[in-house]
Amino acid sequence: QGMHGNCKVLLIVSGMVQLSILAVQEVLFVRNLINENMNHAGDSQTSFEMTQNGLFTMSSCMSLMLLIERS
């Protein structure tokens, strides 16, 4: 027995929305970095934020791929 069709659609749409929110967050982060709008807290803070955004996006992509594969 698989998931109900509505549940599949809801999970896939939810994953796509999460991924698009993270994509917008990354675009804004890069834009602020290019325009030098960010406070210069140091290289370690900037690299931490870049790593955090990258890992969040990667995990969201993986969860969305798993949802699509299993539906």
- Domain borders along the chain are 5-70
The Cα 27–Cα 71 span in angstroms is 30
When pLDDT is averaged across residues 36-59 and rounded to a whole number, the result is 74
Whole-prediction pTM: 0.59
From the number of C-beta atoms within 10 Å of its C-beta (0-12, 13-18, 19+), residue 13 rates as exposed
Alpha-carbon dihedral sign for residues 54, 19, 61, 35:
negative
Q: What is the pLDDT of residue 54?
A: 80
Q: What is the mean pLDDT of residues 32-44?
A: 69
Give tens-digit pLDDT for 8-22.
888 888 888 888 888
